[in-house]
């Protein structure tokens, strides 16, 4: 990619346009073309399938009509019809008046069946054993002999098949048959002799009309179960190039295959034309972009060169350099923003220098303030020794408790063992007894193995402070605070119980929501470190598994429970000294 460095920024921008925009656009365009082509083909294929399904349903209706007519005539139990068929089974002409009467009877039946098959223009014909026509719906001459070609085609019928229709094609000339006949033998139910043969023919023009969809590009064909062509639409004259889109439907009653074929070229032609028009427009705009970008690069290069030179001067130490702003275009806005950035940098540098100076002063103050707690502890320790020497053990114990508290606050950033934290809480309770003039009993029981576990210093103190400040505000007769610890399931549980005034059920639920972070606490700047802050401190130090919960003490007061994950590693070790430094 080093060869790109030989070109200017805008030349590289043009190359980037070619690589990141034009090429993906070309790929997406080709993919869209294939996708549109496939989608259009699928939609046309579904349409053709629906079309041939409708045509197949119409053909099945015609076949049902033929089946009804064949059953009516071949399995009739009408005595008059049977007598007419028996009388004319060997007749070759109107030899007597009886022949005329029986033929007229069959002709009336033919008229009834012709009305039912009027939409298909079917030919219904009965031929007796002498190959003479004794009934015809198309006014063929009565007792005329069927053609030899017709007899040749009917010779393929199975004489032993008497229960189902047998289909055959009749051609006079050409590859497409003039009629598709259904044949069925008429058997005398009395002696099971053949009385004649019923022929029901579907004309070619019926199929041509049915297969004519109005689209010359679509080729519709109908074949019988042997693969012989029954009918084909006029669209077959169109040239089929490539693999066509083909849809097929099988007619279950006859085994015929109705197929639809559409040349893919007729689909691709329109899509290709639209694609070429869109591509031509894109190419025109692309060429125009290249030409305009060249001129625009020259126009943009001069301000950018000036900007680059100004940056070099500023980096070289010239803090007063600024870019002249001309016009209101993007480059002018960029120059204005750049000048403002230089002003901000100058101001920031000045502010950093001032902050560094202020930080040095604060560090000196911190070093000075660090001496004061030790000075106070040393002074209190001297007072305590003097009180002990004078025999005042009560006030000496008070000072000792106060000194322990002071040491805890001095080393607040160091962890503390649980047993030491409990000793600190005892000192805190002792100091609070003096402050509140309450005789508070503080007891704790630590499960073996938990005494050495280290905790952040002053973690439990806010709960004890809350019990004294709020729980004992009514000044009970025997105020009591108890602490217990246990380990279960890898969690250290510390419970702090008091017998203060407690809280109602709704207040406890609201407090638990605040401790779990589900409800925001109203800001109280004067409160200091409260229960909610303790719960947040737990989650910061130990993660989401830790929690602080509150519950009402059945005997009165509250129970606060700390749940802390137990780890093998310790946070630190306590370094509180027994005396002030």
Whether 341 is covered by a domain: the verdict is: yes
Same-domain status, 440 and 347: no
Rounded to 5 degrees, what angle do the CA atoms 245, 38, 213 make?
Answer: 40
Asked whether residue 2 is assigned to any structural domain, the reply reads no
Give whole-number Cα distances, 163 to 160, 183, 240, 255, in Å.
9, 11, 42, 17
Contacts within 8 Å (CB) and 24+ apart, 49-55:
49/247, 49/249, 49/260, 51/213, 51/260, 52/220, 52/247, 52/248, 52/249, 52/258, 52/259, 52/260, 53/249, 55/210, 55/211, 55/220, 55/258
User: What is the C-alpha separation between 479 and 24, in angstroms, rounded?
Assistant: 79
Looking at the domain assignment, is residue 314 inside a domain?
no
Comparing CA positions, the residue from 443, 397, 448 lying closest to residue 422 is 443
From first to last of its 581 residues, the chain has per-residue pLDDT tens of 555 566 666 666 666 766 677 777 778 778 887 888 778 888 888 888 888 888 889 888 888 888 887 777 766 667 888 888 888 888 888 878 888 888 888 888 777 676 655 566 788 888 888 888 888 877 778 888 888 888 888 888 888 887 788 888 888 777 778 888 889 888 888 888 888 888 888 888 888 888 887 777 788 888 888 888 888 886 544 444 557 778 888 888 888 898 888 887 777 777 788 788 887 887 888 788 777 777 776 666 677 777 777 778 777 777 777 777 777 777 677 778 888 888 888 888 787 877 777 667 656 555 555 445 554 555 666 666 666 677 666 666 666 666 666 665 655 557 889 998 898 898 888 888 877 888 889 999 999 989 999 998 888 989 998 998 888 887 888 899 999 999 988 899 999 999 998 899 999 999 999 988 776 655 444 343 478 888 888 888 888 889 999 999 988 899 999 999 987 645 433 333 333 33
- CB-based contact 223:168 (threshold 8 Å): no
Whether residues 347 and 452 fall in one domain:
no
The reply to whether 432 and 352 lie within a common domain is: no
Angle at 138 between CA 136 and CA 139, to 5 degrees: 75
pLDDT score at 508: 92
Question: What are the DSSP E strand ranges found in 219-271?
Answer: 219-223, 229-232, 245-251, 256-262
Torsion angle, CA of 276/282/288/293, rounded to 10 degrees?
Answer: -150
The angle formed by the CA atoms of residues 141, 101 and 121, to the nearest 5 degrees, is 45
Q: Which of 466, 477, 487 is nearest to 535 (CA)?
A: 466
User: For residue 328, what pLDDT is reported?
Assistant: 72
What lies within 8 Å, CB to CB, of 172 at 6+ separation is 149, 178
- Residue from 491, 200, 495, 135 nearest 481 by CA: 495
Q: In the 3-class helix/strand/coil scheme, how is 66-89 assigned residue by residue?
A: HHHHHHHHHCCCCHHHHHHHHHHC
CATH of the domain at 434: 3.30.565.10
Count CB-CB contacts under 10 A for residue 481: 24
Strand residue runs (E) in 5-104: none
pLDDT of 576 reads 39
Which residues, in sequence order, are CB contacts of 279 under 8 Å at separation 6+? 29
DSSP character string of 130-162? TSBEEEETT-PPTTPBPPHHHHHHHTTS-TT--
Choose one of 163, 179, 213: the last residue of a domain: 213
Q: Are residues 31 and 147 in the same domain?
A: yes
Bridge partners of residue 326, in order along the sequence: none
| 511 and 533 Cβ atoms separated by less than 8 Å | no
- In terms of C-beta density within 10 A (0-12 exposed, 13-18 middle, 19 or more buried), how is residue 183 classed? buried
Q: Is 288 within a domain?
A: no
Total domains present in the chain: 3
Give me the phi and psi of 251, to 5 degrees please.
-85, 115
| Structural domain of 331 | 322-369
Tell me, yes or no, whether 548 lies in a domain.
yes
Residues 6 or more apart whose Cβ sits within 8 Å of residue 429 = 440, 442, 464, 468, 481
Q: What pTM value is reported for the model?
A: 0.46
261: number of Cβ within 10 Å: 21
Q: What does the alpha-carbon distance between residue 168 and residue 145 come to, in Å, rounded to a whole number?
A: 19
Instruction: Give the DSSP letter of residue 504.
Output: -
Both 184 and 88 in one domain: the answer is yes
Residue 239: inside a domain, yes or no?
no
Does residue 274 fall inside a structural domain?
Answer: no
Q: How many CB atoms lie within 10 A of CB 473?
A: 11
Do 32 and 162 fall within a single domain? yes
- 121 in a structural domain: yes
Residues 95 and 188 in one domain: yes
**Do 198 and 70 share a structural domain?**
yes
Question: Which domain CATH number covers 49?
Answer: 3.30.450.20
Do 427 and 351 share a structural domain? no
Indicate whether 477 and 550 sit together in one domain: yes
**Does residue 427 share a domain with residue 350?**
no
Q: Are residues 76 and 169 in the same domain?
A: yes
């Amino acid at each position: 990619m080093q060869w790109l460095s030989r070109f200017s920024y805008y030349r590289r921008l043009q190359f980037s346009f070619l690589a990141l925009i034009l090429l993906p656009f070309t790929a997406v365009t080709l993919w869209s073309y294939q996708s549109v082509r496939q989608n259009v083909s699928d939609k046309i294929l579904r349409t053709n399938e629906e079309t041939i399904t409708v045509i197949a349903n119409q053909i099945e209706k015609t076949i049902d009509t033929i089946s009804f007519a064949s059953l009516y005539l071949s399995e009739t139990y009408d005595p008059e019809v049977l007598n007419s068929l028996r009388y004319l089974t060997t007749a070759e002409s109107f030899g007597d008046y009886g022949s005329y009467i029986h033929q007229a009877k069959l002709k009336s039946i033919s008229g009834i069946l012709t009305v039912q098959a009027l939409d298909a223009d079917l030919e219904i014909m009965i031929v007796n054993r002498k190959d003479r026509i004794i009934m015809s719906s198309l006014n063929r001459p009565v007792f005329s002999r069927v053609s030899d070609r017709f007899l040749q085609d009917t010779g393929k019928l199975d004489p032993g098949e008497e229960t189902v229709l047998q289909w055959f094609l009749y051609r006079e000339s050409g590859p497409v048959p003039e009629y598709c006949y259904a044949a069925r033998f008429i058997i005398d139910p009395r002696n099971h002799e053949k009385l004649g043969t019923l022929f029901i023919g579907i004309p070619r023009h019926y199929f041509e009309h049915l297969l004519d969809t109005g689209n010359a590009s679509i080729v519709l064909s109908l074949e019988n179960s042997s693969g012989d062509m029954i009918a084909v639409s006029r669209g077959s004259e169109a040239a089929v190039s490539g693999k066509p889109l083909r849809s097929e439907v099988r007619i279950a009653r006859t085994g015929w295959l109705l197929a639809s074929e559409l040349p893919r070229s007729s689909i691709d032609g329109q899509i290709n034309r639209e694609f070429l028009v869109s591509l031509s427009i894109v190419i025109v705009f692309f060429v125009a972009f290249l030409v305009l970008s060249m001129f625009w690069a020259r126009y943009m290069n001069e301000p950018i060169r000036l900007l680059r030179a100004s940056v070099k001067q500023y980096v070289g130490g010239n803090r007063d350099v600024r870019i002249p702003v001309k016009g209101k275009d993007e480059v002018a806005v960029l120059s204005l923003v750049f000048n403002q950035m230089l002003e901000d940098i100058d101001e920031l540098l000045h502010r950093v220098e001032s902050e560094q100076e202020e930080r040095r002063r604060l560090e000196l103050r911190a070093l000075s303030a660090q001496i004061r707690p030790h000075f106070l502890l040393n002074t209190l320790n001297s007072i305590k020794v003097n009180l002990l020497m004078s025999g005042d053990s009560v006030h000496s114990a008070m000072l000792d408790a106060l000194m322990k508290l002071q040491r805890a606050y001095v080393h607040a950033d160091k962890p503390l063992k649980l047993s030491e934290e409990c000793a600190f809480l005892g000192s805190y309770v002792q100091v609070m007894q003096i402050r509140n003039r309450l005789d508070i009993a503080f007891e704790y029981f630590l499960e073996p193995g938990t005494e050495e576990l280290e905790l952040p210093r002053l973690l439990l103190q806010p709960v004890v402070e809350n019990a004294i400040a709020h729980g004992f505000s009514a000044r009970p007769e025997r105020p009591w605070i108890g602490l217990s610890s246990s380990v279960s399931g890898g969690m250290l549980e510390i419970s702090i119980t008091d017998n203060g005034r407690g809280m109602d059920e709704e207040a406890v639920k609201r407090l638990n929501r605040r401790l779990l972070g589900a409800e925001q606490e109203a800001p109280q700047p004067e409160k200091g470190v409260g229960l909610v802050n303790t719960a947040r401190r737990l989650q910061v130090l130990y993660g989401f598994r830790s929690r602080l919960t509150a519950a009402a003490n059945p005997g009165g007061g509250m129970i606060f429970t700390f749940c802390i994950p137990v780890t093998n590693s310790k946070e630190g070790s306590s370094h509180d000294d027994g005396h002030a430094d």
